[in-house]
Amino acid sequence: MTAGHSPAPSSSDNESSQASSGHTALVSKLVAYLKESGRQTWEDVKFKVFAAAEMINWSTSTDIEPVHADVFSLRQTQDKAQANPCVYQVVVTRSDFLAAMAQRQQRAACELISEGFYFVAPVGVVSPQELPAPYGLVTSDQTGFTVVKAPVFTKHLLQPLQPFVAAS
């Protein structure tokens, strides 16, 4: 390598870069679609889910890792009972999907903050038969998005976190 020159990128670097740019593009496209559908959106959100440890198989309730959501959305409404919080996990390659499926605790935590959990992928990356029962699938192609499989919705009423008061 000579001064001022970087090594040529490897094919895996190129694939990773292409997947990353594809992921960013699909997230942006999804956000626009959800906003057109009357939903408020947040991208690349990290949550801390405070729940009983046994619900998500963590050793203690203090082992709270941040939960990542590619897109979190709420229906635009004044009635918090109708907010319909949903989490969208965007995957652009088969390996993205398999990695996301391996993160069971991440998905379980997302279920605790949402009424519906969707995988979003280009057509052909994920088959609806591969998804566990509660998860939905939205596919994307040049014409837009299609809900291929609706999630099993679980009603949640989101509440603000109450301040902790130590016992005296």
More confident residue, 8 or 83: 83
pLDDT of amino acid 136: 96
Asked if residue 42 lies in contact with residue 71, where contact means CB atoms within 8 angstroms, the answer is: yes
CATH class of the domain whose range is 13-149: alpha beta
pLDDT of amino acid 67: 81
pLDDT tens sequence across 115-143? 999 999 999 999 999 998 899 999 999 99
pLDDT of amino acid 17: 58
pLDDT of amino acid 111: 82
pLDDT of amino acid 65: 67
Confidence of residue 47 (pLDDT cuts 50, 70, 90): confident
**What amino acid is encoded at 88 in this protein?**
Y
pLDDT of amino acid 5: 46
- Lowest-confidence pick of 10-19, 34-43, 93-102, 133-142: 10-19
The residue extents of the domains of the chain are 13-149
- Lowest-confidence pick of 103-107, 121-125, 155-159: 155-159
pLDDT of amino acid 63: 52
pLDDT of amino acid 1: 40
Is the per-residue pLDDT at 62 higher than 60? no
pLDDT of amino acid 18: 57
HEC profile of 98-157: HHHHHCHHHHHHHHHHCCEEEEEEECCCCCHHHCCCCEEEEEEECCEEEEEECCCCCCCC
Mean pLDDT, the chain, as a whole number? 80
